[in-house]
Amino acid sequence: MFNLLLPPPLLWALGGVFLLLVLASSSIRLLEARKPEKNWLELKLRIKTWWWIVGCFSLTILGNIPVALVVFALISFLALKEYLTLCATRTADHVVLFWAYLSIPLQYYWLGIHWYGMFIIFIPVYIFLFLPMRMVLIGETQGFLKAAASLQWGLMISVFCLSHMAAVLTLPQLTGIGVPAQGAMMLFYLVTLTQLNDVAQYLWGKSCGKRKIAPKVSPNKTLEGFVGGALTTSVLGWLLGPWLTPFSPLYAALAGLLIGTMGFIGDIVISAVKRDIGVKDSGRLLPGHGGILDRLDSLTYTAPLFFHYVHYLYF
């Protein structure tokens, strides 16, 4: 079912991630034994959830494309469900929401049959035109624009943007250039750098953050955190690039910079949405993290942008 003869760089990279998890789990055990008076529950939950996230993500890079597409479709399903649960939908649009969910299997099916043209226009064009048509047939005009616009926005973020992770994975098949394993390695590069960028921005912000960068949207984000994080990610991108991607050293560093800056933007865009709705977390799906959109916020920006970056430069 899975190709266990993964390319060595991918095996090493995956091994590295599991090593990080083992380290995190054992250090929390150690800390708990040292200082039992402190409350470690939140951190323990967070790490336990990380095991689940890494486990699910590993399924997508083990060489079985249909399995990977199903996993990504489920991720989009959960993300859209979370978004629609938060968002004010109209009772009249009940059936319309059902149609919106149906776009998920189709969007990933286009990738499965390597139909790039359909994949890239399906949600921005066809779904964009179809859903308002279905809404207008129901005939409720009160709140029409707001309902149509927020539904389309949710689909763009949780289905269109996130499906670009799967597009990176299938890029060699979509274009007929390169070998299939390259897709898995680039996907690993994208997702790992995006997540490490979140960590790096947090650490730089905590240690030397002074100037607030977006005080109204995200009071804890600082200019120092942003710049330090983006530069760290550029260096990491430059280091990992030769192993996992076809990038030249310059393009690898630029890919890191792209992920560093755009990951930050994705993070604060989702933060702005949460603030507008008036919630702290997007959901409760991932104990210790919040919702699935809280975890994937940066990827909503980095996945499509990274995809087009590689597509333009190498595929």
Partner 1 sequence: MNNLLRILFVMLLARPVVRLWLGVTVRHQERLPGTGPAIVIANHNSHLDILALYSLFPLGLIPRVRPAAAADYFLKNRWLAWFATHVVGIIPVVRGGMRRDPLAGCRQALHNGDILVLFPEGTRGEPEALSDIKSGIWYLLRDFPDIPVVPVYLHGLGRAMGRGQWLPVPFFVDIAIGRSLPHLENKEAFCTLIRDTLLQLKQKTLPAAPAQD
Is 176 or 278 the residue whose CB approaches partner 1 more closely?
A: 278
Position 77 contacts partner 1 (CB under 8 A): yes
For the chain, the DSSP string reads: -------HHHHHHHHHHHHHHHHHHHHHHHHHHH-TTS--HHHHHHHHHHHHHHHHHHHHTSS-HHHHHHHHHHHHHHHHHHHHHHS---GGGHHHHHHHHHHHHHHHHHHHTT-HHHHHHIIIIIIHHHHHHHHHHHT--TTHHHHHHHHHHHHIIIIIITHHHHHHHTHHHHHT-S-HHHHHHHHHHHHHHHHHHHHHHHHHHHHH--SBSSTTT-TT-BHHHHHHHHHHHHHHHHHHHHHHSS--HHHHHHHHHHHHHHHHHHHHHHHHHHHHHT-SSS-SSBTTTBSHHHHHTTHHHHHHHHHHHHHHHT-
Among 13, 14, 73, 86, binds partner 1 (CB under 8 A): 86
| Of the residues 274, 289, 295, 311, which one makes contact with partner 1 according to CB under 8 A | 274
Q: Which is nearer to partner 1, 147 or 184 (CB)?
A: 147
In the chain, the N- to C-terminal Cα span, in Å, equals 27
283 binds partner 1 per the rule CB under 8 A: yes
The verdict on 278 binding partner 1 (CB under 8 A) reads yes
Q: Is 308 in the site for partner 1 (CB under 8 A)?
A: no
Rounded Cα–Cα distance for residues 216 and 275 (Å):
9
Among 29, 38, 94, 206, binds partner 1 (CB under 8 A): 94
* Interface region with partner 1, contact rule CB under 8 A, candidates 40-48, 78-86, 189-197, 238-246: 78-86
Q: Which of residues 204-233 bind partner 1 (CB under 8 A)?
A: 215, 219
Q: Is 78 in the site for partner 1 (CB under 8 A)?
A: yes
> Which residue, 20 or 102, has its beta carbon nearer to partner 1?
102
Which residue among 98, 115, 126, 153 contacts partner 1 (CB under 8 A)? 98
Among 61, 84, 187, 230, binds partner 1 (CB under 8 A): 84
Q: Which of 40, 51, 101, 144 binds partner 1 (CB under 8 A)?
A: 101
Alpha carbon distance 41, 43 (integer Å): 6
* Segment near partner 1 (CB under 8 A); pick from 4-12, 154-162, 252-260, 276-284: 276-284
Cα gap 103→77, rounded to integer Å: 10
- Number of residues in contact with partner 1 under rule CB under 8 A: 25
Residues 186 and 247: their CA atoms lie apart, in Å, by: 10
Q: How many of the other CB atoms lie within 10 Å of CB of 207?
A: 10
Q: Which residue from 62, 80, 59, 81 is spatially nearest to 70, judged by alpha carbons? A: 59
The least distance separating partner 1 from the CB of residue 216, rounded to whole angstroms, comes to: 9
Q: Quick check: 89 binds partner 1 (CB under 8 A)?
A: yes
Given 184, 285, 293, 296, the residue binding partner 1 (CB under 8 A): 285
Q: Which of 4, 33, 37, 91 binds partner 1 (CB under 8 A)?
A: 91
Q: Which is nearer to partner 1, 63 or 290 (CB)?
A: 290
Binding of residue 142 to partner 1 (CB under 8 A): no
Chain residues binding partner 1 by CB under 8 A are 77-78, 81-82, 84-86, 89, 91, 94-95, 97-98, 101, 215, 219, 274-275, 278-281, 283-285
